[in-house]
Structure 1
């Protein structure tokens, strides 16, 4: 705020421009875009694509970009993304993650460590990729370890040294949801467990995996909601960012 007021005093910023920069949110009628989210929490506001029209998403993106923030839209179909990209052609779409996002800028990458995204099976990849792409857009380096579930646990052990060296692991699993417990017992960093809705009838659309993860006997595991790769990545990015600050300072 002080910097903005000094710019007005020096004549390098108009009063109208200062009002826009000082506004805590922008009212678009159908949405109130939170421009101070990055200042408060470290990351700009993310757009949840489900239930919004392409026109609404496009307008919100324009408001976010006017504030020089990067764009992250989750749960957006390819059909909607094509419409949005007509107004924002430089945005990238990841079909597997169902995410529309800005190209990550090199200046936004922080630290030298990395987040491990560990995925049990190929059927869980949509959620794992939502987590991986989200963390990358937030400025984190990500290393992917996919199809390493407990049904063939030797695949996990072949990668365990690299996973152990991560700042934090996001572990994605459906069916019995056992993978986070195994990883949690082998690493000395926080584990964010993400249950998926993958599985047969008694998996109850991910409820079985969720309960398994909540009841894990391994320490250091936190659990987010079913299929919430974004939520897992957000928490992991915060942990990673704090760890980098500690290392630097």
Structure 2
């Protein structure tokens, strides 16, 4: 149940078109559903404004399908699936109308969202090898109702490539900086703009990068103010947080 649906339910009670017992039963049925191997949090959207997201890695194709099917049956209009492999995408796609992107490993079922964010989210990468993580962030933000601008392969090894996009950077409401190696991109961007910068270290790099730990530590030690950091390769977390920031003004008005 989404927040708007809960408000409609309460208005029906207030107007007398639904009695208290019916409303109480509906709310009682909603909190979670036990499938045996998973307990689906149907109240997530009501509490947090965004429905539960399916983390596909480690789940079988059938498990992903059953969870998604249960969500749709409960009235969830859109289902987002992260870290979904191609085998699972084929299985689920044969049973539900699935949109799947192999680069980001993002699956999406349901209605295309309205872009109702306050501004634009820019997703920038240090290199081409960072694009899978960046696309996870970008597509997550898009499925949560945001306009996303992509600036790929603009790392500090050729910083003029980044400076050629100053207009897009300055106009952004939030910027997601995705980089491996030494992870310097986030600090450079953070020193240029007045909006929040979400840094995503990636596991891209040679041996001494330690699978992204080097970039993570660099980003955590950034001297640029306004830079926050999510976990290594966590494009989803960055996209979700960027969406939250980009919807603050709208939620305040409501």
TM-score computed with the length of structure 1 as normaliser: 0.91
Tell me which residue corresponds to 1:58.
Answer: 65
Alignment of 1:228-247 (within 5 A): 228-245=234-251
8 Å contact kept, 2:89–2:98: no
Q: Paired residues, what number?
A: 246
Asked if 1:77 corresponds to 2:77, the answer is: no
Aligned residue for 2:247, secondary structure, equals helix
Instruction: Answer yes or no: is the 8 Å Cα contact 1:24–1:35 preserved in 2.
Output: yes
Structure 2's unaligned 5+ residue stretches are 1-5
**1:37 and 2:44 equivalent?**
yes
Distance 1:154 1:161 in 2: 14
Matches of 1:17 and 1:56, distance apart in 2: 30
User: C-alpha separation between the residues in 2 aligned to 1:18 and 1:146?
Assistant: 50
In structure 2, relative to structure 1, the CA distance for the partners of 1:204 and 1:104 (3 Å cut) is farther
State the match for 2:3 in structure 1.
none
* Cα separation, 2, equivalents of 1:136 and 1:24: 27
The answer to whether 1:87 aligns with 2:92 is: no
Pick closer, same or farther for the CA change 1:245–1:10 going to 2, 3 Å: closer
TM-score by length of 2: 0.89
Q: 1:209 and 1:22, CA in 2 relative to 1: closer, same or farther beyond 3 A? A: same
Match of 1:150 in 2: 156
Alpha-carbon deviation of 1:159?
Answer: 0.5
Q: Distance between the aligned counterparts of 2:206 and 2:83, measured in 1? A: 24
Q: Which residue, out of 6, 9, 13, partners 1:4?
A: 9
Match of residue 130 from structure 1: 136
